[in-house]
Amino acid sequence: MMTFFYLAVMLSASAEVVLVTHSSNDATLDKKSVQRIFLGKAKKFSNGKEAIPINQVEGAAARNAFDSGILGRSSSQISAYWSKLVFTGKGIPPKEVESDADVINLISDNPSCIGYIDSSAVTDAVRVISLN
């Protein structure tokens, strides 16, 4: 019974987070391409334009939901993944910001950025991405 409750909470938390890009970004994305962008394995969108991932700070509810729901790992696993890449000189983690508003501000100023926010924070300054 407790497992079911935990799963329901995780699913509802995941459902509240949406991916967002600049309103002019016409790229199509699927879960795999988003994973590749946020794990530093892809540097471009499907339309060939540069992709700059924006993370929220570790411990943020949106970050936890994104890491588990989209990346399929806990935030501590993602942190360990990036620590290894940084240590070996093979990667630089995405920029981290404090809030949904910070994500929206960065994305509205730069068509190359992609991030995630709580669905209640969506404004017309960003485009919500539906994963294909």
pLDDT by residue for the chain (132 residues), tens only, comes to 333 333 333 444 444 899 999 999 999 899 999 999 999 999 999 899 999 999 999 999 999 999 999 999 999 999 999 999 999 999 999 999 999 999 999 999 999 999 999 999 999 999 999 876
Tell me which residue of 90, 97, 89 sits closest to 52, measured CA to CA: 97
Tell me which residue of 49, 57, 55 sits closest to 19, measured CA to CA: 55
> Residue 130's pLDDT is what?
83
> Residue 72's pLDDT is what?
95
> Residue 12's pLDDT is what?
44
> Residue 1's pLDDT is what?
39
